[in-house]
Amino acid sequence: MYRVLNLQIFLLFLYIFNLNATNLALPCSGCHGPNGVSSGDSIPSINNLDKEYFIKSFNDYKTGVRDHYIMKIIANGYTKNQIELLADYYDKKE
């Protein structure tokens, strides 16, 4: 419960003070690596993903089509605009 609340507070802080993709991607780096490159096989890398695939996948977590407890919580913290910013960010990430 507290982790969800902390994530929501963090995302609200980003929204109010500095809405940019680099800051929005900070929660992603905890699992997917600092550049979207995961260190192992259990968590997929998200760098250089096709923008449309990223958006669809993120929205699938948000709506429950894809079942992953943590990703559902994280996805619900982002707006449509923020998801598009992240998709652009990781689509161009080298």
Can you give the pLDDT at residue 53? 96
Can you give the pLDDT at residue 21? 82
Domain regions of the chain by residue span: 2-37+45-91
Cα 55 from Cα 31, distance rounded (Å): 18
Q: pLDDT by residue (tens digit) across 5-52? A: 566 776 666 566 556 888 888 889 989 998 899 988 899 999 999 999
How far lies 28's CA from each of 44, 46, 57, 69, 91, in Å?
Answer: 11, 9, 14, 15, 14
Q: pLDDT by residue (tens digit) across 53-87? A: 999 999 999 999 999 999 999 999 999 999 999 99
**pTM score:** 0.76
The CATH code of the domain at 2-37+45-91 is 1.10.760.10
How would you class 1 by CB atoms within 10 Å of its CB: exposed for 0-12, middle for 13-18, buried for 19 or more? exposed
Closest CA to 3 of 90, 78, 74, 82: 74
Q: Which residue has the tokens 């995961």?
A: 38
Can you give the pLDDT at residue 5? 56
